[in-house]
Amino acid sequence: IYQDVTIRPAPVSIATAHKMIAEVKGFAALRGYRGKPKGDLDALARLITNLSRLAGSDRIAEAEINPVLVRSDGVLMLDALVRIGPKNGAGGDTI
């Protein structure tokens, strides 16, 4: 929606994940906006941290989660793809 990203090398700590969340334009909406509930930023930071650990795995060739719904009581991954195999893109299984 916002065409906005923030990038760090993996792995990302919880503290760094919180900094990344605060850098994007959508942060205002995540903090609660116009009477909307505040998003669970701790859960989102944990998701970012866990995904960054996946990125460092030799067994994961590709991982994508899009979109992620940030709720007041956690996060919900609405669509995900994980491809197991070498990072060079040759072969692998998709789950």
pLDDT at residue 13 greater than cutoff 80: yes
pLDDT at residue 91 greater than cutoff 70: no
pLDDT at residue 90 greater than cutoff 90: no
3-state helix, strand, coil in the chain (%, to 5): 30, 20, 45
| Number of Cβ within a 10 Å radius of residue 50 | 12
- Rounded to 5 degrees, what angle do the CA atoms 56, 89, 82 make? 55
**Cα separation, 82 vs 87, whole angstroms:** 12
Domain locations in the chain as residue ranges: 14-94
Task: Say which CATH class 14-94 falls into.
Answer: alpha beta
The pLDDT confidence band at residue 3, using thresholds 50, 70 and 90, is confident
* Residue 41 · residue 18 · CB < 8 Å: yes
